[in-house]
């Protein structure tokens, strides 16, 4: 079955509420979408929302690539050879993970639909359901507790708390959350590179009895050597995010002593499902757990990340809440969310359904 046409476009997706992290406040997000239509009329969907601050590519740049001559040249290619097409694209766009993610996801979805099999089952499903964390931005203690109460009432039992601006306030927020919810809530922290080594040590010591499950990217990229000086009981709870962009970085960070015991894999950083699975393959024999994250993304790419995560035996955590606060999207389906737990929905490919316009 051959590819009949390819179409790329941008769509700005408003958030129901803005949020703040260590270096910016966000109120809406721009996603690039890709449609790969087969000769039989099936349409594979891809999407991307790369972060320029992290990967050096914007959705606008991804759109330009996806509307270019090389991608257009995929028309008439056999969808059954989709993995080879993705590998060729990786060579063509080595520094454009958003471009690669949208293309990789669309080709996967088209292939899965053509074969009549969900992508997670094509790769061998290992996990069937898992609780996702939901994210609380940087805010004061009272607002943190208020946000937590809202999520708790919705059935979520895993919170990821953004930190990194004021370590003293960060500590107070975590202590108050643990005091309020005791053992009824899992707490994760994402410092977004906001800590120094002294800040990190101070935070870990002050929250030692608060059972923080993991700490994501506590220090700036390039300071991984300092993390290697920490005791193993701390390093095993640290998750690489901005430090982990591609399989090459995954291999480097797997060397002993490992600065991170957890890899946060995002399709928007590495360039899609194939690259993500390459990273997962590196992490497994190194004893590194997987934590699947996201940006503010359409259900299209969130679902792709979920399928990837559930095909990996070393997946321990997911943080795939990136579409929960979207005021609109181009699709429905893809996954089911019940009481804070996610699972892929039924259907071939990624199981998505186009929204009527």
Kindly report the CATH class assigned to 121-354. alpha beta
Q: Please write the tens of the pLDDT for every residue from 64-83.
A: 999 999 999 999 999 999 99
- Cα 229 to Cα 197: distance, rounded to the nearest angstrom: 10
For the chain, domain boundaries? 3-116, 121-354
Predicted local confidence at residue 29, as pLDDT: 86
Predicted local confidence at residue 151, as pLDDT: 97
- Cα 93 to Cα 91: distance, rounded to the nearest angstrom: 6
Does the predicted model carry a pTM greater than 0.85? yes
Contacts of 168 (CB under 8 A, 6+ apart): none
Q: Where are the alpha helices (DSSP H) in 73-223?
A: 82-92, 97-115, 119-122, 141-153, 167-181, 197-206
Predicted local confidence at residue 53, as pLDDT: 85
Q: What percent of the chain is predicted at pLDDT more than 70?
A: 97
Kind of pairing, strands 335-338 and 352-354? unpaired
pLDDT, the chain, mean: 95
pLDDT band for position 19 (cuts 50, 70, 90): low
Fold of 3-116: Enolase-like; domain 1 (3.30.390)
For residue 183, the 8-state DSSP code is: G
């Amino acid at each position: 079955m051959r590819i009949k046409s390819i179409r790329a476009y941008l769509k700005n997706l408003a958030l129901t509420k803005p949020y703040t992290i260590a270096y910016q406040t966000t109120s809406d997000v721009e996603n690039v979408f890709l449609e790969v239509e087969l000769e039989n009329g099936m349409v594979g969907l891809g999407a991307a929302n790369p972060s320029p601050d992290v990967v050096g590519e914007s959705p606008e740049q991804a759109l330009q690539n996806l509307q270019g001559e090389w991608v257009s040249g995929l028309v008439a290619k056999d969808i059954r050879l989709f993995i080879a097409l993705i590998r060729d694209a990786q060579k063509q766009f080595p520094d454009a993970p958003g471009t690669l993610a949208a293309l990789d996801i669309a080709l996967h979805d088209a292939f899965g639909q053509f074969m009549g099999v969900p992508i997670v089952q094509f790769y061998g499903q290992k996990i069937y359901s898992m609780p996702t964390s939901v994210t609380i931005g940087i805010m004061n203690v009272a607002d943190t507790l208020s946000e937590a109460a809202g999520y708790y009432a919705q059935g979520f039992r895993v919170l990821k708390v953004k930190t990194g601006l004021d370590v003293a306030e960060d500590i107070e927020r975590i202590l108050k959350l643990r005091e309020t919810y005791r053992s009824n809530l899992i707490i994760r922290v994402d410092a977004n590179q906001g800590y120094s080594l002294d800040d990190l040590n101070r935070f870990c010591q002050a929250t030692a009895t608060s059972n923080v499950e993991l700490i994501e990217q506590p220090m700036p990229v390039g300071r991984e050597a300092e993390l290697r000086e920490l005791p193993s009981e701390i390093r095993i709870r640290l998750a690489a995010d901005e430090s982990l962009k591609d399989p090459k970085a995954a291999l480097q960070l797997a060397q002993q002593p490992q600065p991170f015991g957890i890899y946060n894999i995002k399709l928007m950083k590495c360039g899609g499902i194939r690259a993500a699975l390459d990273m997962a393959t590196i992490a497994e024999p190194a004893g590194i757990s997987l934590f699947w994250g996201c940006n503010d993304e359409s259900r299209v790419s969130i679902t792709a990340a979920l399928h990837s995560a559930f095909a990996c035996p070393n997946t321990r955590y997911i943080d795939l809440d990136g579409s929960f606060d979207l005021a609109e999207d181009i699709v429905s389906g893809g996954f089911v969310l019940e009481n804070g737990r996610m699972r892929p929905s039924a259907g071939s490919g990624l199981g998505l359904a186009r929204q009527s316009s």
